[in-house]
Structure 1
């Protein structure tokens, strides 16, 4: 992996920008993180250990973490509960909870259970973090899946060899992407041995070109470097003496670096964009195809530290601008409460936002992982929040990324966002953005597995009107021999603001929906516990 080399003029501007002010360690990630690792399968003696982890970067005062872990049986009843409290300074705190596989001294009945974590910092004004994962207790017949040959892909597993086209399958090529990461253009890019969390803005070793080279070398087809839009002044706050020209030039250099890398590396797409917004009372949004740096900060001379002014935390205005410009966005690690407010309502819906926002991160590996063997166990699940966005009316597909801040782009875990391009279509920024706009996307925790969901033969991501029966089909393929242990077709109603529920545990089904609007998506759990999510289909039933 090599360091990005900038032209002398830009290096001088960057040096002036980042070193003319005294900057504190980044506070952008000041939020409580709680993760839960629940092994899907138990050991031979039915025992298993649940791993909890708590972290709060930049915590100003030590406190106490209160947590509760619940085991929910297949009928939806809580059958076991564990509680605990731990002194907390903000540094990662691991907690192990052992379960012997029994409920009230009897072996737990076989079935699919949920393990649900609720944790928070005592006295904190933010809502507690909730995480839940499915586990298998005992033996259970595997669901019957339709035969489905894997779609053509660029690589097979770790070999780097091209995957053979599946002639009997759908006419699409799958590209595996990590659509959320940082370099030293904001608060990422530190070498693994030096990376202890978010970096001081513009101070770490590795830039976008190093990130692209690393990701390509690890078998990814697409890497999006998405820098915090408000750190181009070299600070996590506002730097009065920062150079506005340098900030804008740095963003343009990132775009140029991505374009140059893509042009010389056929079959790989380097994307450069921004992560817009702040965590506190805000929410992060990735914008993948903006050639303009957006911002709200000015220096002491009143110069905007961006190309285009966008008011901080005004998501409705941002959505309108994105729709006007044709930009595509992703809701990053969305919290259940307090983020993406419109008219004071969290996760508030607007038609402009619906047009611009294509993706919702359903699962991420922890942002500050230094793991480079794809074995990170600290992972966050955001399916419930993504479901709330779907119920609010947003037409979003699921994505899964790594939010890498250390120099392990795409390597902390095996999760990828799978994007489908029509067979024979070159991989370019434009063709990739078109695929995102069409929501031809699935999220997978296993880079060797694929999930394609159809309704009356129409591909996931589509919106259509239907009369009469609707046949739903879940197509799963694994190039590494993984099997399906559990699956569900989920159903919801746009603009209802209600709950998404499981419709069926089957891979194929024919139903006749009630009159009105519906959305459906598939969730598949492999025998190793890794989960895949399809994009929804949206159906108006007449």
Structure 2
């Protein structure tokens, strides 16, 4: 079976995405921009007509303008761009402000659509969208017109992150003069700031949804165009964790499809249950092993349960056993525990009994997670088991590794439906990576808040998910934290009187908030979430009853953040009785445990732990306990106090408990390191030799004082594209770190770069920016489909229809008159169903034309006789055209019977 058709039940669904530039990149004063729509329907067996409607909405939700279209789709992903003038329907200038662009799209069998009465495009589209016989996709993105005043935001310096903590530790380590002084500095609380003094949390960023070769993921980037045959790809969980770590993620979950552990997308009746169960256990072991040797990173292994068809995918984060419904020919269950396919109510009950938690993955507003035929049907067990809902995903089959993927989908409407049904879920954003680019396709991250000082381990991470201390961000450098009357997002509490909601925002990359919205809903109402306010700080008196609130912030670059909701039970009664609480501690070195027993006449909402009067962490559910790295405290006697809060914010304080820390003497010896370099042009190699009395944890390479790469294993080396450096002399140094964060720095080494100056004349030669800079027939420049690009996601695909057809592709360039050489190259792959070895029925010509379209030369002609299985490089000397403006022109002509595809990628024209 072809890899592209490996996972039909799991990926056979229509999908539509919309990319809207938040701000125009045109010249000053112009608001025009392109809206990019991408339509995909993997494994569809008949040609589909995609009917779509684009609408421009004002701030009040009113439709200002609309446009319609129909696209034909079959096998290939279809990408189309719509040019918007930046003006209203009558050509008038729009008022400065924030607008929304909304896409509504639907796939209909082309034959069925053609059988409908003849109508203009608008009528045809509206008529098709009025029928809810197939899935209708809605996507909406904001855009800014003109100048918009930024909202007033509360002072918020941002919570510490793993990166900021590491930087702080490195700084204090390098300046402390003794081991004792280092321990004192490391154990001190971070400098207080008004907005964060009551928020003792550290933010960890990562991805909670991806696949490896334990199911249908892990595909090689150069050939990955879709889901892989189960267990066939090159890369497994350990590869994924290392890749994500290298890309700067703090955590990654590999969530494998539960029904593929038999090595099949259907049911493998010859499967050995022991093999399937052992594979799942090997994944759990791989995560444990990787975490033990990579402090500061958390690999999570679990399953993606269910199928799309009449079901819905959901992650189970912490199951220690494989769940399934498939049996082999000997009637043996190919799993540890039987779960009925698509029985979500039964699965929720099992999860609640076992203490497992889950996430709704890329949910739809209809037809998924059915309980008693109701989408997002609520059960009390489900409310305990489900903690998260994906609000945004990037393309599952993206091969982008530069965090610039534009194909992404939002599911806020579906997540709101879950919240209104009564589920207490927080928003996440993931990448659903099936190709080997875990966490690298875009800058989106899920942020998880752990108590500052708590060990970054699986137990504490799961506790944070259970507490719903989560936010979703399209920007890995930003964070959003919603608070209400001293409570933090994720909490549930009872309130009387006024309620003040505060949307806190911070960015370490200089981004600012463009808009902020607080939304309100009612759990269990099954109604509609509504906008409460457009201010960061909002004070209201809620009506008596149940409510939830969440904040949504759009940055000045259009990237969006969603806070976790906060759930409020509004009451008229006033509780004045504080909780009673007692504290305890165990351990004197390594990981110690702080614990508390707390009771209240109404209910305990949270317990805070203070060591020597410094807040170390907060726990919101029983049992009230947390772990703490003892090296953050000095070797001495310390005092522990616990504070217990109820929903009315009454506080009970425990008696002080004394305990002693006795850590082994710290390692204070830095590594020794020396460097070398080889090469002066092209790809150069930077190398280091490093030793330490205990062990080297990593080596960093700096060129002219700028960090270029990090190596975590010997031999310590990296390669560098020398064209990123100027011609001339440069300085190389290396820093070697040990586990105690001692740093050794090498002597500086001088080396020289001498690259030949060359100019790339072809723009967007890999087609990764779609049709930008190219003129092509409809559908030629595309991503997806059964044919892979050579690199990246896009390629040019000419012909392949099996009918009389002509496709063209060209780009116009000017070769400088002063050029001494001009070399054209491209990669070509020819696939054909023709069997002849003598007749050229289908042809591709490479021509050079002048700017008027006159053919100056035909450089080469290819045909079905050149078919093969791989891309082949073609090069041509164009020096004779220097000083001329020419078109590099491809024309593919296909006969009427048998299909031949001409695939072109990575076009380059280098002038020297």
Q: Under a length normalisation based on structure 2, what TM-score does the superposition of the two structures give?
A: 0.56
Sort the Cα spacing of 1:247 and 1:488 in 2 relative to 1 into closer, same or farther, 3 A.
Answer: same
Distance in 2 separating the partners of 1:258 and 1:87: 44
Distance in 1 separating the partners of 2:215 and 2:320: 17
Sort the Cα spacing of 1:449 and 1:158 in 2 relative to 1 into closer, same or farther, 3 A.
Answer: farther
User: In the alignment, does 2:32 pair up with 1:47?
Assistant: yes
User: In the alignment, does 2:41 pair up with 1:26?
Assistant: no
Distance in 2 separating the partners of 1:536 and 1:393: 12
Deviation at 1:143, TM superposition (A): 0.1
Counterpart contact for 2:6–2:216, Cα < 8 Å: no
Secondary structure at 1:196's aligned position in 2?
coil
Which of 239, 255, 259 is matched with 1:230 structurally? 259
Counterpart contact for 2:227–2:434, Cα < 8 Å: yes
User: In the alignment, does 2:345 pair up with 1:359?
Assistant: no
Deviations 1:427-473 (A, max 9, x none): 11110000000000010000000111000010000000000010111
Deviation at 1:90, TM superposition (A): 3.2
User: In the alignment, does 2:158 pair up with 1:150?
Assistant: yes
User: In the alignment, does 2:337 pair up with 1:329?
Assistant: no
Counterpart contact for 2:212–2:236, Cα < 8 Å: yes
Which residues in structure 2 correspond to 1:102-251 (within 5 Å)? 102-103=87-88, 104-123=90-109, 125-155=133-163, 165=190, 167-168=192-193, 169=196, 170-251=199-280
Deviation at 1:477, TM superposition (A): 0.5
Q: Which residue is 1:36 aligned to?
A: 18
Deviation at 1:128, TM superposition (A): 1.0
Distance in 2 separating the partners of 1:227 and 1:162: 37
Distance in 1 separating the partners of 2:170 and 2:562: 24
Sort the Cα spacing of 1:216 and 1:491 in 2 relative to 1 into closer, same or farther, 3 A.
Answer: same
Deviations 1:130-151 (A, max 9, x none): 1111222222110010111121
Distance in 1 separating the partners of 2:141 and 2:393: 13
Distance in 1 separating the partners of 2:165 and 2:49: 43
Instruction: Give the structure, 1 or 2, with the largest relative contact order (CA under 8 Å, sep 6 or more).
Output: 1
Which of 65, 70, 73 is matched with 1:80 structurally? 65
Deviation at 1:157, TM superposition (A): 12
User: In the alignment, does 2:87 pair up with 1:58?
Assistant: no
Sort the Cα spacing of 1:158 and 1:480 in 2 relative to 1 into closer, same or farther, 3 A.
Answer: farther
Distance in 1 separating the partners of 2:169 and 2:133: 51
Counterpart contact for 2:5–2:43, Cα < 8 Å: no
Deviation at 1:181, TM superposition (A): 0.1
Deviation at 1:60, TM superposition (A): 1.5
Sort the Cα spacing of 1:250 and 1:510 in 2 relative to 1 into closer, same or farther, 3 A.
Answer: same
Secondary structure at 1:320's aligned position in 2?
helix
Sort the Cα spacing of 1:336 and 1:160 in 2 relative to 1 into closer, same or farther, 3 A.
Answer: farther
Q: Which residue is 2:74 aligned to?
A: 89
Deviation at 1:76, TM superposition (A): 1.6
Q: Which residue is 2:786 aligned to?
A: none
Q: Which residue is 1:474 aligned to?
A: 503
Q: Which residue is 1:297 aligned to?
A: 326
Secondary structure at 1:106's aligned position in 2?
coil
Counterpart contact for 1:23–1:235, Cα < 8 Å: no
Deviation at 1:25, TM superposition (A): 2.2
Q: Which residue is 1:536 aligned to?
A: 565
**Bigger radius of gyration:** 2
Distance in 2 separating the partners of 1:308 and 1:100: 58
Secondary structure at 2:163's aligned position in 1?
coil
Secondary structure at 1:254's aligned position in 2?
helix
Which 5+ residue runs of structure 2 have no aligned equivalent?
A: 110-131, 173-189, 572-912
Distance in 2 separating the partners of 1:158 and 1:525: 29
Distance in 2 separating the partners of 1:218 and 1:498: 41
Q: Under a length normalisation based on structure 1, what TM-score does the superposition of the two structures give?
A: 0.94
Distance in 2 separating the partners of 1:338 and 1:163: 53
Distance in 1 separating the partners of 2:337 and 2:415: 29
Distance in 2 separating the partners of 1:538 and 1:163: 40
Deviation at 1:183, TM superposition (A): 0.1
Q: Which residue is 1:13 aligned to?
A: none
Deviation at 1:23, TM superposition (A): 12
User: In the alignment, does 2:466 pair up with 1:437?
Assistant: yes
Sort the Cα spacing of 1:207 and 1:159 in 2 relative to 1 into closer, same or farther, 3 A.
Answer: farther
Counterpart contact for 1:153–1:163, Cα < 8 Å: no
Deviations 1:43-67 (A, max 9, x none): 3311111110011111122221111
Give the stretch that moved more between structures: 228-237 or 119-128: 119-128
Deviation at 1:531, TM superposition (A): 0.3
Give the stretch that moved more between structures: 359-368 or 62-71: 62-71
Sort the Cα spacing of 1:166 and 1:216 in 2 relative to 1 into closer, same or farther, 3 A.
Answer: farther
Deviation at 1:166, TM superposition (A): 5.7
Q: Which residue is 1:11 aligned to?
A: none
- How many pairs does the alignment contain? 522
Q: Which residue is 2:56 aligned to?
A: 71
Deviations 1:265-318 (A, max 9, x none): 111100000000000110000000000100000111111110000000000000
Distance in 2 separating the partners of 1:241 and 1:320: 31
Distance in 1 separating the partners of 2:164 and 2:84: 37
Deviations 1:348-392 (A, max 9, x none): 111110000000000110100000000000010101110111011
Counterpart contact for 2:4–2:227, Cα < 8 Å: no
Which residues in structure 2 correspond to 1:257-276 (within 5 Å)? 257-276=286-305
Sort the Cα spacing of 1:158 and 1:282 in 2 relative to 1 into closer, same or farther, 3 A.
Answer: farther
Distance in 2 separating the partners of 1:457 and 1:254: 40
Distance in 2 separating the partners of 1:158 and 1:411: 22
Deviation at 1:24, TM superposition (A): 6.1
Give the stretch that moved more between structures: 261-270 or 132-141: 132-141
Deviation at 1:42, TM superposition (A): 2.1
Counterpart contact for 1:420–1:440, Cα < 8 Å: yes
Deviations 1:321-342 (A, max 9, x none): 0000010100000011100000
Q: Which residue is 1:4 aligned to?
A: none
Secondary structure at 2:56's aligned position in 1?
strand
Q: Which residue is 1:393 aligned to?
A: 422
Deviation at 1:161, TM superposition (A): 9.2
Which 5+ residue runs of structure 1 have no aligned equivalent?
A: 1-18
Distance in 2 separating the partners of 1:239 and 1:197: 21
